[in-house]
């Protein structure tokens, strides 16, 4: 399986993965058969490069772009909601719980979002650019930056 400019992979089900491509192309791959089932071009003038994504539930995925996070409905990939608030490229996204996600960007900001309302609940200011975020437990996240790792209480 070859894909160009891959930014992340999302497991869709037992046999399919979704490759998120920074060139606004989503590719659905059949893993057991090893072939590309579907290629979908997405994007707009406001969302130039998709950088990462996560599975929210059985029918929705969330993919981050330059400044926005978009929630897509499966299987047609219609945009249900856009979460707006970052002023620089999004780099990392993680799921906190059923209704909240966290995103980090190159502008040294970490945002906690309510995916039901689309509202930013909290903005954490870091000293460095954020390159990766994970949920540590139900009360904390960890960010990986240029020269440090930081644990945040949420």
Domain extent listing, the chain: 6-153
Distance of alpha carbon 146 from its chain centroid, rounded? 20
Q: Which fold has domain 6-153?
A: Methylamine Dehydrogenase; Chain H (2.130.10)
What confidence tier does 124 reach under pLDDT thresholds 50, 70, 90?
A: very high
Higher pLDDT, 34 or 86: 34
Residue with tokens 């891959």: 6
Higher pLDDT, 79 or 112: 112
* Whole-number average pLDDT of the chain: 85
CA 133/CA 45 separation, integer angstroms: 27
């Amino acid at each position: 399986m070859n894909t160009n400019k891959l930014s992340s992979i999302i497991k869709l089900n037992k046999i399919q993965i979704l490759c998120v491509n920074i060139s606004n192309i989503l590719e659905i791959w059949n893993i057991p058969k090893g072939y590309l089932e579907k290629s979908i071009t997405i994007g707009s003038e406001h969302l130039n490069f998709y950088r990462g994504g996560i599975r929210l539930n059985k029918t929705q995925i969330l993919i981050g772009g330059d400044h926005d996070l978009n929630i897509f409905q499966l299987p047609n990939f219609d945009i249900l909601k856009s979460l707006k608030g970052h002023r620089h490229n999004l780099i990392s996204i993680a799921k906190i719980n059923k209704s909240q996600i966290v995103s980090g960007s190159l502008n040294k900001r970490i945002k906690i979002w309510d995916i039901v309302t689309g509202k930013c609940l909290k903005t954490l200011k870091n000293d460095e650019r954020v390159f990766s975020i994970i949920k540590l437990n139900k009360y904390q996240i960890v960010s990986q930056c240029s020269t440090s790792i930081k644990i945040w209480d949420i």
